[in-house]
Structure 1
Amino acid sequence: MSRKPKLERFQENVSAKYQIYNSIFMTLPFDGISNTGALLPLFSDVCAEGYELDKNPTQIVEKFFERYVNHNKTRAEKNNLLFRFIQYIERQVVLFDAVEDAAFPIVNNMDGRGTLRNLKEEAEEKDKIDDLKEHLKRFKVRPVLTAHPTQFYPGQVLGIITDLSEAIKKDDLLTIKKLLAQLGKTPFFKKKKPTPYDEAVSLIWYLQNVFYHSASKIYDYIQKNIFDDEEVENQVIDLGFWPGGDRDGNPFVTTEITLKVADRLRNTILINYYRDIRKLKRRLTFKGVEQRLERLEHMLYNNVFYQKEDGMLSLAEFEAELKSIRNVVVSDHQSLFVTELDDVINKVKLFGYHFAMLDIRQDSRVHQGVFENIVDTMKNRGEALFSIDYANASEAEKIKVLTHIDASVEADYFDNEITNATISSIYAMKTIQERNGERGANRYIISNNQSALHVMEAFTMLRLCDWKALNVDVSPLFETVPDLQAAQAVMRTLYTNEAYAAHLKRRGNKQYIMLGFSDGTKDGGYLMANWSIFKAKEELTAISREFGIKVIFFDGRGGPPARGGGKTHQFYASLGNTIEDEEIQLTIQGQTISSNFGTLDSCQYNLEQLLSSGISNEIFSGAKPEFSEADKKTMETLASVSYDTYVAFKKHPRFLTYLERMSTLKYYAKTNIGSRPSKRSQSKEFNFSDLRAIPFVGSWSQLKQNVPGFYGVGTALEHMEKNGQFEAVEQLYKNSSFFRTLLANSMMSLTKSFFKLTAYMKDNEEFGEFWSLIFEEFNRTKRMLLQLTGYKTLMENEQAGKASIHAREKIVLPLLTIQQYALRKIHELQKDENTDEKELEVYEKMVTRSLFGNINASRNSA
């Protein structure tokens, strides 16, 4: 580990190397236009120069054509060159990713702050090693991989990034050159949408090649270095999985796909065990061991490749056999290669026959219709579930009859497609548990949960599926600000319900509650969303402790700060003792998977950071609340002012039309990046409530305005300043690491904004005033954050992170320029009654194609 400052390590190992390899890449001959590689740097210079002179994207592109492109070239030929630029820039982003991945262990201190080694040393120094052990016996981290469409790289490109990173680590110039040539010829654009199964297969690659090794390495370290080889009953790291089980707004997830994904997960983990057993067999060639390993090898081989269940041991038997072999190695063979054997035993303990826990998720609005259909259908069959008119009963009456229901249904009772699919998905969970074990699928999540009735209806559907000893946890997902505020009352109703309380008792008195950052921010703005979630966690912790329930929070986080991303481990380290933290569970989405968990080094480092944040909050924080009453009052005021500001902005008459006409929002659906639709309802009408958080946040990001990450923050801080309360804000900033982390992530959003790109909009007759409103709030927030932190520039304390952002922004500036140029052309053509539809199609394609590199370049947002 170099002792040079982090920024210097970044510049030497990322920036400098990227320049070298990029210069090689730019000379490779793989396109139909000569000199594309030579022309792109010139175009980049024209872009930078043009924005400095306050030129708009059209003027910049036309200036470039005038200066460097033959005047005899047709418009089609010029557009073709722009498409070639897009292709080159996409690949430059890939190259930068690969260089940054290769340098990860050099730029980041793998034994430094937040790592397990550092945690152990701190515990020993403070005489808290026993406390650390006790905590590790029950503390868990569960990253849940989701296929939400924020990752634009197809699988083959991810493979090239991996191989390129390895070649760069070795400075293998010949291989690098070949891989760059391969990259140049590999298509990025997906001609058709992936199915949910395709998405699952893509993410299982990370489980198989990265998490399998990194998670077990961490577990091995804990067992050997913290517990001195004593067996640790707790898994410490669980893996979760959503593709194939997440039905929320995705009509393409079927029961067949759910079962197929569960089979794929099982098959993949067995393949990994098979490979490890083969490796062990080459080392444990001893009497009383070799033949037993051979039997396990054949058992796994027959199951994986011939689908033969005969002779397949149960998970408990498999683990017992491995431990029995270990006893022989220890007693008869001087513990030779026992470390390698322990690693396999630990993997079996971590991943079972399921590999990752497949969650099932559906929207409460769907459940409501399904449940009413169940009631009507059963009544028509002469098997009425209730004596009351359910559809017209009050919520209290409905909960009362749901509490005492005793009946069962089958999927084929129902002709209604959604009802049939919902009931089938529950029966699928039973099937998965029988095959993969209970951990294979044991959580049902209710999106858009607004009431106790929403939980009780889902809970009742599970019970109706002939599942008396219910081995499933029911998890409400509270997302919007009003839902978060109502969460405590919802849980009180459930905790006092006799049927639900009895169910919780059978499940060890644990209640999983999911909280959604993405829709919270979309609904209430950045500060209010984060503060509402913090308060909801405090209230839900208090109510759960009151009833003797251990609440476990599951955070639906996206990649960018606007969707709950940013420096997530800092959030968990800043919670204080008023929030339950026995487990950290969070979604890992899209480019966050490849950027934070895409390599063995980055995966191990970031898993350790999450583990460390939860543990240090409990062991080293001094068990004090994160907020004093005075600080809480200040935070409340800031969140309230910010919320009012954001809601007023959202209600602006130009808000929806600006997004629809001036951003890339409607082009997300054309990118074929994800299986699910870009909005929840299929209506053609543009409706804010139907809009998913990903295209919403992504559209602001493509505009380089990043509104969801800062809007309202500046006004709130300025409000305190004008009212002579800025000293209270300074005190809050000094006292609260939660608040400091919030503002640091907001600063990241500001750093990634570039208003010169869209400055031409201020002169637009329809949208000029609206654009200026955003720009004013950007400047206000920047000014107030610098004043509060005492920094001279944004992200002054994170120079390496800032350098990474600036390097990426420089790469994609020409891409953003092309995108805005194309959008302006579309607006022009749409005003012309004699528009050439084919020409319009070309520019729309240009906008869609330019989405890819811009999103991928933002991978350092998490």
Structure 2
Amino acid sequence: MADSTTAPRELTEPLREDIRLLGGILGEIVREQAGERIFQLVETARTESFRLRRSEIHRSELAALFDGIDTADAIPVIRAFSHFSLLANLAEDLHRERRRAAHRKAGEAPQNSSLAATYRKLDSADLPAGRVAELLKDAQVSPVITAHPTETRRRTVFEVIKRITALMRERARPDLEPEDIERIDLNLRRQILTLWQTAVIRLSRPQLETEIDEGLRYYTMSLFEVIPALNAEMRTELRRRWPATDVLTHPLVRPGSWIGGDRDGNPYVTADVVRTATRRASMLALEHYLNELEALEQELSMSDRLVTVTPELAALAEASGDDGPSRADEPYRRALRGIRGRLSATAGDVLDELPHHWLESSLTPYGRPEELLADLETIDTSLRKHSDGILADQRLAALHEAVLTFGFHLCGLDMRQNSETHEQVVAELLAWAGVHRDYSSLPESERVDVLVTELRTRRPLIRPDAKLSDLAHGELAIVRAAAAAIRDLGPDAVPHYIISMCSSVSDMLEAAILLKEAGIFDPGNSDDGPSCSVRLIPLFETIDDLRAGASILRSTLDVPLYRDVVRGQGNLQEVMLGYSDSNKDGGYVTANWALYRAELDLVEAARDVGIRLRLFHGRGGTVGRGGGPSYEAILAQPPGAVTGSLRITEQGEVIAAKYAEPLMARRNLESLVSATLESTLLDVEGLGDDAEAAYTILDELAELARDAYTDLTQRTPGFIEYFRTSTPLAEIGSLNIGSRPASRKPTKSHQDLRAIPWVLSWTQSRIMLPGWYGAGSAFTAWVGDDQSRLKQLTDLYKRWPFFHSVMSNMAMVLAKSDIGLAARYAELVPDSSVRDLVFGKIREEHSRTVDMYKAITGYDDLTGDNPALHRSIHNRFPYLEPLNHLQVELLKRYRSGDDSPYVRRAIHMTMNGLATALRNSG
């Protein structure tokens, strides 16, 4: 396959040079460390993989290289190809960075998904100031790092890759002398040697506390630097365009987290974990502020013999208690010492351990971030009064913006639990209190009556000595830990409570009962209505729940008590949409359309009842779990679905890909912000009066696709057996990638599996089924022999961002799939009749889907609209081939009875390598 990208070959030559350099160094290290025999095996496998891509050999010839391979030999081969893939990824990232810089240097128009491009579009739209202010009233862009860790790389490996990246950037400088390049290459060799000698997989499953720390590491790596600067820039740019408005009165980008608060199916989330998550986040924020204050104290050395300060600054310096003679004439240093002292006292009050840069102090702690901001503003005002604005605009301004963005809490910790658990616990509480002996037996209307009555009274249901089940004790302890975090760190510390599998009004109100028991929900009195600092958020996940979501929301808001709560929360209701379970439930096309339809219905419901709606998108890293380019995905939302606000989950390997360093973090956050602004302020759907006709077409396609999908997953005999035996599903359960169990409960049904192992299994076997199955049958049946219908779909692909995104993401998955390799995994199925039936259906549907994609889009290739993906497949996928063959060989060995630790470890290493190379691990 030729490297036929749309870019001239000379533009991609630097990428090939980087891959050759890094691959060459790795090859030398493999030869030195593993020996000539292993090196030759790796080289043979590599060259044969490239020959296979050029159709010069048959796949069976490559597979034969590994027949009966000794496990001790397999492990270094797996490691070599895993590292090749990792280094190729690194080279691709650097190439994209290089090309963007070249575009900017050439003075070309800014690329879509950048703020520069968005500003141009807004300038051309001639938007009225009043409308901009109204639409951005509750503006918020919130990437939420979740507790679904599919990042299979260890942190140590991650740090080595970061150092290699820095060295490659330095190597690209045009002013280097030969000795500089020699020095850099030697350092590259050191780092790649370290990579080779570092174990790539964990020996034990990570604890939740480890996951908390891994989620927080991105703040020091990039987010402390990038988010405050981005927020300040956005405020400046928008107010410059609409100076008559007070647009963006609060920071636009405000991150969140699920790690330590999401207990849906995770028994390891406890009250102690909630405390750990909130306190460690707070400590990181306070530690950052104290560090910056210490630096400012060194920098702002101005003497009052040379400058005049404001009376407020003089008073702040006097109140610091810093009366040392050496600083008598340095009011800014004294004032900053006092701020450090007060903030240190705050840390001593609210944290479980003292942060670095802590200063022993007897000063009064800050009660709220606003008090700290006021003191920083005093310093800012004084600096500007004596023409030192240039000093105020640097570290001080960045610190002020950071405190404004992160407060004392750093990031909001979302709580999440399944509605079934809420029902059990609330039923137990009501029975203990004598309110109702069998709440669960009540019909919905009576349940709502009981819950509303309880929510109107201040009387708690239980007292401290109540004898309750472990489940009830645990759930109450968790919400009380959340209440303590809110009390100590502010309401933004725990701002949301998400109800999984929400299907009724009572599901919403049961969560409110738990919040009331913890003192978070206040019933109010005759003068004041009910209030709650935590927003209750229904999560609609299955196809049926998505279709019923708007009705559930309307019914809940029809309850006067709940409507009063929402009114007290700024008349804003958030709803979460689940991408993973809806896909697993109904297939790719059906799930995507169910989500779009649900958003349309929710927007209409919100408009009818007079509230503002914010949608929270539970997207995973893979297309099968809602993944794909974020910018395109946001623009593909229906009209009214993005009203200045967007919350979106960031999961697994996607987190590292987006936020591991400032340049990447800035670029990815810009794409979220750009798409949010454009979706809010501009007409991006593009259907006009044809919208209803397009919706009808998708209604029909979704039903056809669901039928094809359920025919395979529910009506095909032996499908579950095929899934379990043709993929490494069982082995994934022991892969140490997260603290969370693979299934919600013991089961043999794919519907009870978590989406991560469901998608990861199909990804490893290279079928990628969740990202396309059912589409081919749906398109084929709907079009039939009617070419005018095919033209309708082509027109929708060209005009409608939603349909274009669905097709583009599907093509990306199909391009990464490989039915030839999948056939090797099918050989693992013991029952030949099951294998032939199920794999036969998959193979036929794959062919249909590829053919229909080409017919609808007009492309001859699955990567026709994505030259970067084409280049990536060309450069990286030959390194995947040996990993897949080795995985199949090792699975056969393991399942035939060889369960030695080395075989298990080797299987896990192939999973790690494939996940790294595909950049889609689940």
Deviates more, 1:410-419 or 1:544-553: 410-419
Q: Which amino acid aligns with 1:84?
A: P
Shift of 1:544: 1.3
1:519-549 CA distances to partner (integer Å, 9 max, x unpaired)? 1100000011011011111111111111111
1:206-285 equivalences in 2 (<5 Å) = 206-228=218-240, 232-285=248-301
- Alpha-carbon distance, 1:486 to partner: 1.2
**1:177 and 1:622 mapped to 2: Cα distance?**
49
Amino acid at match of 1:208: T
Matches within 5 A, 1:677-696: 677-681=741-745, 683=746, 685-696=747-758
Hey, what does 2:208 align to over in structure 1?
Answer: 196
Residue by residue, what CA displacement relative to the aligned partner does 1:686-710 show, whole Å, maximum 9, x if unpaired?
2222200011011111010011100
Q: Which residues of 2 match residues 379-778 of structure 1 at below 5 A?
A: 384-386=434-436, 389-405=438-454, 406=457, 407-408=459-460, 409=462, 413-467=466-520, 468=522, 469-621=531-683, 628-651=691-714, 652-681=716-745, 683=746, 685-722=747-784, 724=786, 725-760=789-824, 764-778=832-846
Q: 1:857 maps to which residue?
A: 917
Contact 1:703 1:758 in 2 (8 A): yes
Match in the other structure for 1:291: 334
Residue 41 of structure 2 corresponds to: 39
SS of 1:758 mapped into structure 2: helix
Distance 1:489 1:194 in 2: 40
CA offsets per residue over residues 324-367 of structure 1, 9 Å max, x none?
A: 11000111233131211222111111111111100011111111
Distance 1:859 1:377 in 2: 50
| Aligned partner letter, 1:448 | M
Residue-by-residue CA offset, 1:236-259 (whole Å, 9 max, x unaligned):
101010111110111111110110
Q: Which moved more, 1:242-251 or 1:121-130?
A: 121-130
Look up the SS of the partner of 1:514 in the other structure. Answer: strand
Q: TM-score, normalised by structure 1?
A: 0.92
Aligned to 2:350: none
Which one of the candidate residues 776, 788, 793 is aligned to 2:856? 788
Q: Do the aligned partners of residues 205 and 780 (structure 1) sit closer, same or farther apart at CA in structure 2, a change above 3 Å counting?
A: same
Q: Which residue of 2 aligns with 1:182?
A: 194
* CA contact 2:66–2:886 (8 Å) conserved in 1: no
CA distance in 1, matches of 2:916, 2:465: 44
How many angstroms apart in 1 are the aligned matches of 2:840 and 2:756? 24
**3-state SS in 2 of match to 1:227:** helix
Query: What is the SS of the residue equivalent to 1:170?
Result: helix
Deviations 1:550-589 (A, max 9, x none): 1111010001111100122212113342435331111000
1:332 is aligned to 386
Contact 1:364–1:448 under 8 Å retained in 2: yes
After superposition, the C-alpha distances for 1:138-160 in whole angstroms (9 at most, x for unaligned) are 42211000131311011111111
1:420 alignment partner AA: H
Q: Which amino acid aligns with 1:88?
A: A
Relative to 1, partners in 2 of residues 1:15 and 1:140: Cα closer, same or farther, differing over 3 Å?
Answer: farther
Please give the root-mean-square deviation of Cα atoms over the aligned residues, in Å: 2.6
- Of residues 417, 423, 432, the one that matches 1:368 is 423
98-107 or 712-721: which moved more?
A: 98-107
Cα displacement string for residues 697-751 of structure 1 (whole angstroms, at most 9, x for unaligned residues):
1111101001110001111111122152323322322331110011100000100
Counting only pairs closer than 5 Å after superposition, residues 84-163 of structure 1 correspond to structure 2 as: 84-108=76-100, 111-128=110-127, 130=129, 135-136=135-136, 138-163=138-163
- Seen in structure 2, the aligned counterparts of structure 1 residues 37 and 136 have a Cα distance that, compared at 3 Å, is farther
Tell me, in whole angstroms, the C-alpha distance in 1 between the residues paired with 2:8 and 2:273. Answer: 46
Secondary structure of residue in 2 paired with 1:404:
helix
Letter in 1 for 2:510: E
Q: Which amino acid aligns with 2:168?
A: I
Query: What is the one-letter code of the residue matched to 2:697?
Result: T
Distance in 2 (CA, whole Å) between partners of 1:546 and 1:308 is 56
Contact 2:499/2:539, CA 8 A, preserved across alignment: yes
Does residue 1:345 correspond to 2:395, yes or no? no
CA contact (8 A) 2:742 2:754 kept: yes
Unaligned runs of at least 5 residues, structure 2: 105-109, 172-183, 305-330, 348-354, 523-530
Letter in 2 for 1:170: E
Kindly state the Cα deviation for residue 838 of structure 1 after the two structures are TM-superposed. 5.0
Cα distance change of structure 1 residues 760 and 516 upon mapping to structure 2, 3 Å threshold: same
What residue number does 2:19 align with?
18
What SS does the aligned partner of 2:28 have? coil
How far off is 1:62 after superposition? 3.5
CA gap of 1:622–1:613, structure 2 versus 1, over 3 A, is closer
The equivalent residue for 1:820 is 888
* AA matched with 1:79: T
Asked whether the equivalents of residues 102 and 166 of structure 1 are also in contact (C-alpha less than 8 Å), the reply is no
Identical aligned pairs, as a percentage? Answer: 24
Describe the shift of the 1:447–1:127 C-alpha distance in structure 2 as closer, same or farther (beyond 3 A).
same
C-alpha contact 1:56 1:758 (8 A) present in aligned 2: no
Segments of structure 1 that go 5 or more residues without pairing to the other structure are: 66-74, 379-383, 830-834
User: In 2, Cα distance between the equivalents of 1:812 and 1:732?
Assistant: 35
TM-score (norm 2): 0.86
Instruction: Choose 31-40 or 17-26, whichever is displaced more.
Output: 31-40
Whether the aligned pair in 1 keeps the contact of 2:727 and 2:825 (CA below 8 Å) is no
**Are the counterparts in 1 of residues 136 and 247 from structure 2 also a CA contact under 8 Å?**
no
How big is the shift at 1:773?
0.9
Aligned to 2:389, the other structure's residue is in SS state coil
Partner Cα distance (1:213, 1:633) in 2: 47
- Letter aligned with residue 228 of structure 2: S
> Following the alignment from structure 2 to structure 1, what is the Cα–Cα distance between the partners of residues 719 and 11?
40
Any idea what SS the aligned residue of 1:236 has? coil
Cα distance in structure 2, aligned partners of 1:752 and 1:336: 51
Residue equivalent to 2:318: none
Are residues 336 and 284 of structure 1, via their aligned partners in 2, closer, same or farther at CA, if it must alter by over 3 Å?
Answer: farther
